[in-house]
Amino acid sequence: MTITDIYGRVLDADGYKGRVVVVNLWATWCAPCEAETPALINLQKKYGDQLTIIALSVDDDPSVVRRFSGEYEINYRVAMLDGKNKS
């Protein structure tokens, strides 16, 4: 399975064999999702190459997701759940 993240990079599930992968479903308008973002950023920093976090947004507008990702300086992969990854 492959999907494309919000910056056009391909995420290939085969590339994550043998690694811990966290798949997070979220939205920019979801207050609990926003609250958990710093914790996910810290997890990625702490575990580096041992961990892969893939956040799948249910938002409708990829530009909103990119803006949110930039504001929070998200250090893990972000993609759109419905495959929308370009505005």
Task: Encode pLDDT of 15-31 as tens digits.
Answer: 888 889 999 999 999 99
CATH of the domain at 31: 3.40.30.10
Q: Is residue 87 part of a domain?
A: no
In angstroms, what is the C-alpha Rg of the chain? 12
pLDDT of residue 12: 84
Task: Tell me the pTM.
Answer: 0.86
Alpha-carbon span 57 to 61, nearest angstrom: 10
pLDDT tens for 63-77 read 999 999 999 999 999
Q: Is residue 62 part of a domain?
A: yes
Q: Is residue 86 part of a domain?
A: no
